[in-house]
Amino acid sequence: EAQVTQNPRYLITVTGKKLTVTCSQNMNHEYMSWYRQDPGLGLRQIYYSMNVEVTDKGDVPEGYKVSRKEKRNFPLILESPSPNQTSLYFCASSPGTGFRETQYFGPGTRLLVL
């Protein structure tokens, strides 16, 4: 089954404790990205990757890191999480960035930083 998977789905952590949210897709997609969803703000892009070893900042990259060492994986790293990073996170992938190249979203990761 074609899908984007994220782990963990739920995470409670404390301020300053490094964490990684994994994202993997099995569709051989070139483009991958991370979004965060906050009430009243919709979804905002954190980072994106056009291909392996090519990543760039989205609209809200502060406090996050990413890497794209393999085409299928695009982990999101919070080196020192803070309470303002409490949010719902989505990974998305697509074959490219054309109109018909639908972005597939993962199931989301709900993060609470205490």
Partner 1 sequence: AQTVTQSQPEMSVQEAETVTLSCTYDTSENNYYLFWYKQPPSRQMILVIRQEAYKQQNATENRFSVNFQKAAKSFSLKISDSQLGDTAMYFCAFMKPSFYNQGGKLIFGQGTELSVKP
Residues in the site for partner 1, rule: CB under 8 A?
31, 33, 35, 40-45, 48, 50, 56, 58-59, 88, 90, 92, 94, 96-99, 102-103, 105, 107-108
Q: Which is nearer to partner 1, 14 or 86 (CB)?
A: 86
Min CB(66)–partner 1 separation in Å: 14
Min CB(21)–partner 1 separation in Å: 15
Contacts of residue 81, defined as CB under 8 A and 6 or more positions apart, other chains included, come to 13, 14, 15, 16, 17, 18, 19, 63, 111, 113
Min CB(70)–partner 1 separation in Å: 20
- Long-range contacts for 45-49 (Cβ within 8 Å, ≥24 apart)? 46/76, 46/89, 47/76, 49/74
